[in-house]
Amino acid sequence: MAEQPIPQDDPVVSKSYAAHYAIAMLLLTATLLCALWDEAYGQRPWKSYQNVWKQRYSAFLNTAKSSSAKSQKDIESDPEYQRLQQAYQSAFDATKPRRDEIQKKLADLNAQILAVQNVFTDRRAYVNSLTYQVETGDKGKQAEVDKYKAKKSTVNFPD
């Protein structure tokens, strides 16, 4: 292919856009600086109040923490609390065998559900692929879909 001659008044060749780029760069930089100032200070006049409040509230929480620790120690030394704590611990220990049995059954059921889900997911994916083929024009696959849906599946449960 022969090269086309470059026209004499082609703006890409005959003019310099350096001044335009410099002006655009200055405008974009000024806009960026204005946006950063506005984001940091202009839209947030409450920042100084926020810092003062943070210091005061931190001081309040430090005093509240020491008084709450004292209140907690007072409650824990109360004989009624100790009696309730002992009753809780004895009930917790008494139900441990039953909880362990339920936990074991739950783990077994979760393993069985996982086994069934694996078979179900595989079968569903296969039927969906056949259904897609039927919908996109291969009508001969409909009999295969019906036959596959009628077939029973077996699940091998874990030990």
Is the pLDDT at 133 greater than 90? The verdict is no
Ranges 9-13, 31-35, 66-70, 139-143: which has the least confidence: 9-13
pLDDT band for position 79 (50/70/90)?
very high
Three-class SS of the chain:
CCCCCCCCCCHHHHCCCHHHHHHHHHHHHHHHHHHHHHHHHHCCCCHHHHHHHHHHHHHHHHHHHHHHHHHHHHHHHCHHHHHHHHHHHHHHHHCHHHHHHHHHHHHHHHHHHHHHHHHHHHHHHHHHHHHHHHHCCCCCHHHHHHHHHHCCCCCCCCC
24-72 per-position pLDDT tens digit = 999 999 999 999 988 887 787 777 888 899 999 999 988 888 788 888 8
More confident residue, 153 or 37: 37
Q: What is the pLDDT of residue 13?
A: 73
Q: What is the pLDDT of residue 2?
A: 67
More confident residue, 31 or 15: 31
80-127 per-position pLDDT tens digit = 999 999 999 999 999 999 999 999 999 999 998 998 898 889 888 988
Q: What is the pLDDT of residue 1?
A: 60
User: Count of CB atoms within 10 A of residue 120's CB?
Assistant: 12
Is the pLDDT at 11 greater than 80? The verdict is no
